[in-house]
Amino acid sequence: MSTNTTSRLPAYFLSHGGGPWPYMDGPFRAHFTQLEASLKAIPQELGVKPKAVLMISGHWEERDSFAAMASAKPPMVYDYGGFPAHTYSVVYPAPGDPALAERVRGLIAAAGLPASLDAERGYDHGAFTTMFPMYPDADVPVVQLSMLSNYDPETHLALGRALAPLRDEGVLIVGSGLSYHNLRAFGPGAKSASSQFDAWLQDALLKASPAERSELLRHWSDAPAARQAHPREDHLIPLMVAVGAAESEAATCIYHEPDFMGGVTASSFRFGALPA
């Protein structure tokens, strides 16, 4: 797999599953077979190794500015509970990229949006559970970028637009969340709401024109079962960033599972064409 810093890379919105699943075995891990296969397929479909990954995770938000992780050797953030003891010592040792973090900060600031650097932040599970299946050798630098805690769709679409030039610089932009995220209604209880919202999401992303797509996302809470699917939209907002980074380009569904975790309809999407 060659390194390519000239061909434009697509952007992704990935459903990242639950907890530290890639580091587990047994029945719980078995729930993620299809999701894992979709993540492992991404490097092959890209055909080139990114210079770096810019990761917007549903598990990091800041109130006042978009914060870029600036550490050269990011630590780990074990932001989950109730899992086996060994999952609180796993390490995904991908390097950070302070120069990319500064580039990200500059692009955001140039767009008139608040931006800062965070030298202490580490990889949360929204980042390392997607990166480990994709790049198990941890040989691609990763910079995480926070959301804003206001969850404003247009602001996060604008963030994506500001970051779009990175796609021509060999940087893979990844929004990591979950297309359905209601922790109080997983399993069979999620079947109706998740399928209704996913059907709307498929239409909005795959069938609407680019302008219509962005407008639909600005008003996502009007969608069928929207608030049942996302009582708190932290796991949906990374989608806005990925869409904004490829706002005029076509979307492709790369993962769709109608019975995830026993009843959830879950999906992941790519925005933009694959490198030539």
Band (80; pLDDT cuts 50, 70, 90) = very high
Tell me what the mean pLDDT of segment 129-157 comes to: 98
Residue 189 has what pLDDT? 85
> Domain locations in the chain?
2-271
Of residues 184 and 160, more confidence is placed in 160
**Tens of pLDDT along 93-142?**
999 999 999 999 999 999 999 999 999 999 999 999 999 999 999 999 99
Q: How many helices (H) and strands (E) does the chain have?
A: 9, 10
| Residues β-bridged to residue 251 | 271
- What are the tens digits of pLDDT across the range 6-59? 489 999 999 999 999 999 999 999 999 999 999 999 999 999 999 999 999 999
pTM: 0.96
pLDDT per position as a tens digit, 199-214: 999 999 999 999 999 9
pLDDT at 6: 47
Residue 186 has pLDDT above 90, yes or no: no
- Over the chain, what is the mean pLDDT? 95
Contact 178, 60 (CB under 8 A): no
Under DSSP, the state recorded for 21 is: G
Give me the architecture of the 2-271 domain, per CATH. 3-Layer(aba) Sandwich (3.40)
Q: Is the pLDDT of residue 157 over 60?
A: yes
The helix, strand and coil proportions of the chain, stated in percent and rounded to the nearest 5, come to 40, 20, 35
Encoded amino acid at 193, one letter: A
pLDDT tens by residue, 211-236: 999 999 999 999 999 999 999 999 99
Residue 96: per-residue pLDDT: 98
Q: Which residues contact 53 (CB under 8 A, 6 or more apart)?
A: 131, 135, 140, 141, 142, 143, 171, 172, 173, 174
- For position 26, what pLDDT does the model report? 92
Length of the chain as a residue count: 276
- Mean pLDDT on 146-159: 98
Is residue 194 pLDDT above 70, yes or no? Answer: yes
> Of 51, 170, 159, 52, which is closest to residue 111 (Cα–Cα)?
159
Given a cut of 50, is residue 253 above it in pLDDT?
Answer: yes
Residue 5 has pLDDT above 80, yes or no: no
The answer for residues whose C-beta is within 8 angstroms of residue 95's C-beta and 6 or more apart is 72, 73, 141, 142
